Amino acid sequence: MSLDVYLTNPSCSKCGHSPDGYNDNITHNLTGMAGAAGIYEALWHPDRLDITSAKQLIPLLEEGLRWLRKFPTEAASYDAENGWGSSLDFIPFVERYVRACRENPEATVSTCT
């Protein structure tokens, strides 16, 4: 099981073209780590926070990323016991997602769990 995240860009009002968005996924085994970093809701359930656009996610994800980098030992304590999901997977996932949000600030956020 995994979390799929999507950023969907709006279509151009002039030509109708919709720029490429973004999608990625990460294992559900990292929900504990996401919770410890304070970004579980932002990642898994942005709708519960009334987040609809990528620009709304940026400060939340950046704060979680700061925690993950500041407390690497604590973050690693949430690594999945079965080997499917670690801070070595999660930190780059969050980094990519923040970058994508910055590059697509008006994109609509959606998830599939």
Q: What is the mean pLDDT of the chain?
A: 94
The reported pLDDT for the residue numbered 14 is 77
Is the pLDDT at 10 greater than 90? The verdict is no
pLDDT in tens, 83-108: 999 999 999 999 999 999 999 999 99
Q: Write down the pTM of the prediction.
A: 0.92
Q: How confident is the model at residue 73 (pLDDT cuts 50, 70, 90)?
A: very high
> Beta strand 108-112 with 22-27: parallel, antiparallel or unpaired?
unpaired
> Residues 57-70: what's their mean pLDDT?
98
CA dihedral 90, 96, 1, 75 (to 10 degrees): 10
